[in-house]
């Protein structure tokens, strides 16, 4: 499942390809699951609009739109509607030549003024398409890459849950998934089962730096594969993070050679070094 760095990478790739282009029309498939807004609402919001930009909000891809006519008249940056895509487990947004073969499990095709098409393909149909009026789309939680230290520390005050569970709680932080939580805790020397409330301000400040570091590194690594990911060939292109603990149960710690342990916390695998993390 794509996590924050993957979605960021995909959103940047889409922004580079389709910003400034105009959506002339949209075709939506008959499967009901991908449509969180109705087909009529989606068509009304996105047809004849210019794509101002594409960005990530939490784990959503957001297309900021304005009427194509308005954009032609003046260099306005006013967003009048938003097209929101959640990739779910297997969703992909492809930028294709209109003549390229339509893949099975294509649920939406937006025809662009440039002659290309934006296609949403999702075999398992956990992905969601929706629209919102200007700037109305909001997601819960704090954006980890933009979080300030005091705000971050306040999220965990008095929380008796393990820090690992708190990091995965999307109402607190947006988009931090299992891999990035484990890797950040390792870099900070905190055990995943530690109660959030028992962690000092200094350690939490360090944890925030680790989270930002891990996410940024992953985004940089993802950059190399994004062109494949959103390319016409539809090839998968998730980056491979240099994991230090995640998925390394029984292997030796890269710092102290102690075997990495795996425990299950709130139903999710957690990996840590029993010597480096306290
Ligand atoms: Zn270690």
Predicted TM-score of the model (pTM): 0.81
Distance from Cα 101 to the centre of ligand 1, integer Å: 50
Distance from Cα 226 to the centre of ligand 1, integer Å: 33
Instruction: Please tell me the predicted confidence (pLDDT) of residue 261.
Output: 97
pLDDT at 226 over 70: no
Instruction: Please tell me the predicted confidence (pLDDT) of residue 228.
Output: 42
Of 53-67, 112-126, 145-159, 228-242, the range with the lowest mean pLDDT is 228-242
From the candidates 3, 6, 8, 117, which is the catalytic residue?
3
Distance from Cα 244 to the centre of ligand 1, integer Å: 10
From the candidates 17, 59, 128, 206, which is the catalytic residue?
59
From the candidates 2, 5, 34, 144, which is the catalytic residue?
2
6 vs 198, residue with greater confidence: 198
Q: How far apart are CA 178 and CA 44, in angstroms?
A: 37
Distance from Cα 178 to the centre of ligand 1, integer Å: 19
Q: How far apart are CA 275 and CA 278, in angstroms?
A: 7
55 belongs to the catalytic site: no
pLDDT at 224 over 50: no
Percent of the chain with pLDDT over 70: 91
Q: Give every CB contact of residue 219 below 8 A, 6+ residues apart in sequence.
A: 5, 8, 9
Which of 85-99, 211-225, 263-277 reaches the highest mean pLDDT? 263-277
197 vs 140, residue with greater confidence: 197
Handedness of CA 250, 252, 256, 258 (dihedral sign): positive
In this prediction, residues 208-235 reach a mean pLDDT of 68
Distance from Cα 275 to the centre of ligand 1, integer Å: 5
Instruction: Please tell me the predicted confidence (pLDDT) of residue 176.
Output: 87
124 belongs to the catalytic site: no
Half-sphere exposure of 88 (CA within 13 A, CB side): 18
Q: Which of 237, 239, 236, 241 is nearest to 222 (CA)?
A: 239
278 belongs to the catalytic site: no
* Average confidence score pLDDT of the chain: 89
59 belongs to the catalytic site: yes
Confidence of residue 220 (pLDDT cuts 50, 70, 90): confident
Instruction: Please tell me the predicted confidence (pLDDT) of residue 237.
Output: 43
pLDDT at 126 over 90: yes
Confidence of residue 233 (pLDDT cuts 50, 70, 90): very low
Distance from Cα 274 to the centre of ligand 1, integer Å: 7
With left for phi above 0 and alpha for psi between -120 and 50, is residue 221 left, alpha or beta? alpha
Instruction: Please tell me the predicted confidence (pLDDT) of residue 63.
Output: 97
Instruction: Please tell me the predicted confidence (pLDDT) of residue 139.
Output: 81
Confidence of residue 222 (pLDDT cuts 50, 70, 90): low
pLDDT digits (tens, 9 = 90+) for 21-75: 999 999 999 999 999 999 999 999 999 999 999 999 988 999 999 999 875 666 6
Confidence of residue 167 (pLDDT cuts 50, 70, 90): very high
Q: How far apart are CA 141 and CA 125, in angstroms?
A: 25
Residue carrying the six token digits 């098409």: 117
Q: Give every CB contact of residue 93 below 8 A, 6+ residues apart in sequence.
A: 10, 14, 61, 85, 87, 118, 119, 120, 230
pLDDT digits (tens, 9 = 90+) for 8-21: 888 988 999 999 99
Distance from Cα 163 to the centre of ligand 1, integer Å: 19
Measured CA to CA in angstroms, residue 224 lies from 6, 74, 168, 218 at distances of: 11, 35, 27, 11
Distance from Cα 105 to the centre of ligand 1, integer Å: 45
Instruction: Please tell me the predicted confidence (pLDDT) of residue 235.
Output: 42
């Amino acid at each position: 499942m794509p996590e924050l760095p993957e979605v960021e990478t995909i959103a940047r790739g889409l922004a580079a390809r389709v910003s400034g282009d105009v959506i002339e029309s949209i075709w939506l498939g008959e499967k009901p699951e991908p449509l969180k807004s109705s087909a009529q609402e989606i068509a009304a919001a996105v047809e004849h609009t210019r794509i101002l930009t594409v960005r990530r909000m939490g784990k959503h891809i957001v297309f900021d739109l304005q009427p194509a006519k308005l954009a032609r008249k003046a260099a306005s940056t006013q967003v009048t509607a938003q097209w929101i895509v959640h990739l779910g487990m297997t969703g992909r947004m492809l930028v294709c030549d209109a003549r390229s073969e339509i893949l099975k499990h294509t649920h939406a095709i937006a025809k662009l003024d440039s002659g290309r098409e934006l296609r949403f393909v999702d075999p398992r149909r956990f992905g969601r398409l929706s629209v919102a009026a200007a700037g109305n789309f909001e997601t819960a939680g704090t954006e980890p890459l933009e979080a300030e230290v005091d705000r971050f520390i306040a999220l965990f005050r008095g929380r008796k849950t393990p820090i690992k569970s708190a990091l995965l709680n999307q109402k607190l932080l947006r988009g931090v998934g299992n891999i990035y939580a484990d890797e950040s805790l390792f870099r900070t020397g905190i055990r995943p089962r530690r109660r959030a409330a028992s962690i000092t301000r200094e350690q939490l400040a360090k944890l925030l730096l680790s989270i930002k570091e891990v996410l940024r590194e992953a985004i940089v690594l993802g950059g190399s594969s994004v062109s494949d990911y959103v390319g016409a060939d539809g090839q998968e292109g998730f980056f491979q993070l240099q994991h230090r603990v995640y998925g390394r149960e029984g292997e030796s710690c890269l710092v102290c050679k102690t075997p990495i342990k795996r425990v299950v916390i709130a139903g999710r695998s957690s990996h840590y070094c029993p010597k480096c993390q306290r």
